A and B are shown apart, each in its own frame.
Chain A
Amino acid sequence: MHIHIDHLKKHYGRMRAVDDVSFSFSSGEIVGFVGPNGAGKSTAMRIIATLDEPTSGDAFLDGISVVEEPDKAHRLIGYVPDSLPSHRDISVHEYLDFFARAYGIGAATRKKVVESIEEFTNLLGIREKHLNALSKGMKNRVSVARALVHDPAVLIMDEPAAGLDPRARIELRELLKVLSSQGKAILISSHILTELAEICTAAVIIERGKILRAGSLSNILTADLPHRTVLIRSLDEPELLYRHLLVQPNIEAARRIDHTVEADVAGSEEACWELLEHLVRNGYRVVEFRQQRAGLEELFMNVTRGEVQ
């Protein structure tokens, strides 16, 4: 499954909630959709989930347009909204059974499907509990289970971790990893960037409806940086290595940390390679040379300005 978001725009009068957003991702990928409040994440996700119509542009799921063929797209998408189920007088099992019926799953297979989803999302123990008696974490699991009931190829999750306690967040993270390993394409928005960085293979950073950065996590965390930070450990005297680094033209700064030296290398990854080559050529016995990845949080703070429309 290949998902392609093609020049998506959503305008409310003069406000451009989503402004020419384009990106792609495929099965097995978990894409973090990151942006400040009001950046247009939820609007874009609702459009991809066929709940809203774009002003222009489209999203394609293996070539199926969500604008022109929403009925076909429905079967491919599982959508987890940012609010939790609040139906009264209905148990978890009945709720999931209802959505299984709503997705047209026949009686012959429905029981098995619902039970397997309950088992997968660890809901078997609470299947007879009423929805309104559940905690936020449990409701969240029910919400994910509901989105999975028709076995969609694409999962769109709008702030699924909001308000969850640490245990529920960890459980959700593990669940997403399993789903990704099963080949589902997952688009997830969250404000908890450290957690996103742990599970995402790619990220899209959006602000005021426009994409600021998009791509694989390793690329966007290393591209466009003013310098690279590398951690070097050699069998030589660290002080000697430290002094040597300080006089190199492309080294912006260096720090000694125990038996290692951390250096800020100006330029691209090419410059890092040149530095390593230089050290080896000069007889330094380098046993560890590691580029420190910038965190998603750091990148987010660098590229966004916290502006809202």
Chain B
Amino acid sequence: MRIVDKLDDLLNPIVVKELRQAVKSRIVVSALVLFLLIQLSILLVALSFGERRGYEEASLQAGRQIFLILQGILLGTCMLLVPAYAGVRLAAEHSDTNVDLLFISTLRPRGIIFGKLQASVVLMLLIFSACAPFMTFTYLLRGIDIPSIVMVLVLDFLVVLLCTQGAIFFGAVPANAGMKLLLGLFGLGLLAIMFGYTTAASMALLDMGLGSRLDSVEFWLIAGAVAVAILATVGLLFTWSVAIVSPASANRALPVRLYTLAFWIVTGAAAAIQMRRFRTTMPLYFWEAVIVTLLCTQIVVSINEREQWGLRIKRTIPRRWWLRGPAFLLYSGAAGGMLFAVLLIALTLVLASLPLSWWIDPSTLRAPTVEIDIGSRTTLALFLMALYTFDYCMLAVWLRNLLPHDRIKTSYTWVLAIILAGLGISLPWPLLFLFQNEELRMGHIDPGWQISNPFSSIFTCVAETSAEAEIFRYQCPLFLSGLALTLLLGCVPWMARQMRRFRPPEKETPAV
């Protein structure tokens, strides 16, 4: 067998197909040519203007200024072209006709998504390599050092990678054309925000000048943390995408939950290291906010999951009861998913609420009082957010179970939860108008009236300082916890039913 054949066999089929399509695509080729022309034009214009200036007027910042323009174009092109190309193509192909057919080949869902990402990375490398000579040339124009150029390009690459994986995730979401358009617009908005932040970060990095900081441990810790955060998010989006394109009969949740667990541990450890090194608790609270938000999303997703398992999954359920318990939390399933998220949220909040001395010597903090105050407010806000998410989701599950059989599909429980939350947010206002009109006009309403409104309640508890707010700060979590417990009791039969069903098959199906 020839080496070329061996190498060919190693290639992911999706990458080969995607790149073949990209080469033939007019959009990709035109965008690349246009991109190169713009870069060349900018450089020519800049050089021409530079020529006209006298020696005295020579700018010592010309390199940096031109680099920023070129970097803006590179980032804009990559962030728009590569993610849009990957996302739109997957969205178009993710139908009964195409992606399903891949599933009856030997390709696995992981291979399909990874192939899409790999193909996008090749496109990104192509664009980056096309712009590299122009960007390196800016070094000769002064005002910028090579390490800064490299670091900014690495940052840009990671951000484009994140955006591309995000676009692949959006493209994988099964939806009709209208919904896909809405998702596309939403994704475009996110891209614009990311573009803004990355450009600002690049400018800050260039202003700092990275050449002199390369030997500092702090610099590498921050750079490492940013890289870990971006790559961890890429991984999270990747596992979500794989779960979405996996067949409904597969154990979709298992890799997602395992990844979430790994994400929790790795990012938590990174936050702890940063906290000790930089003598600030901010990384811990940032980690806490990210994790709780992620797990609240997990709760909303979980309520739509299966409540019974097909043979394909049942066959893999452990027979030993002590292994079945953890497996219940990790396998696809509504109750297991809810419990997994709730347990991890509780653990996160407990860790963040531990006395500060457990994490760091408080005397070494620059502003211990401020940090403790920010920390307690963050934890309270996140605790309330988790309680509201749990309560509305469990209420939706409870109501769905109350309704006659199959009136609301399991997969649409999230819609019911959102409707309930919408009612909870909007209903207090007409009630206040009817019964507390005077107070409403004066702006002195009892915060208790707004208890069904998460936004208002969290704001009152965290930001307001009035006497009523002080009382409400205790009443609100108490009420929400009581409601959560009541709903949990109401849903015990629902959970118990799923736990009973979560068993391996009694005997193997006899082959014919």
Contact = CB atoms under 8 A, between A and B. Distances in A.
Interface residues of B, number: 43
A90 B315 contact: no
A70 B312 contact: yes
B106 A103 contact: yes
A262 B17 CA distance: 62
Contacts of A295: none
Contact of A107 (B8, B98, B405, B406): B8
B104 A90 contact: no
A68 B509 contact: yes
A218 interface: no
Given A53-B311, A81-B97, 8 more contacts: A53-B247, A53-B312, A67-B311, A68-B311, A86-B98, A90-B20, A106-B1, A107-B9
A98 B16 contact: yes
A58 B104 contact: no
B509 A67 contact: yes
A102 to B, nearest CB: 4
Contacts of A84: 97
Contacts of B405: 13-14
Interface of B: 1-2, 4-6, 8-9, 11, 13, 16-17, 20-22, 24-25, 92-93, 95-98, 100-107, 247-249, 310-312, 315, 405-406, 409, 509, 511-512
Categorize the interface residue count of chain A. Answer: 35 or more
A255 interface: no
Contacts of B97: 81, 83-86
Interface of A: 4, 6, 13-14, 49-54, 58, 60, 63-65, 67-68, 70-71, 74-75, 77, 79, 81, 83-90, 94, 98-99, 101-104, 106-108, 146, 150
Contacts of A70: 312
Contacts of B2: 108
A4 B510 CA distance: 12
A98 to B, nearest CB: 4
Contact of A94 (B20, B100, B509): B20
A101 B16 contact: yes
Contacts of A77: 104
Contacts of A65: 509, 511
Contact of B21 (A79, A81, A88): A88
B509 A51 contact: no
Nearest to B25: A89
A54 B102 CA distance: 20
Contact of A102 (B24, B96, B105): B105
Contacts of A14: 405-406
A108 B104 contact: no
Contacts of B8: 107
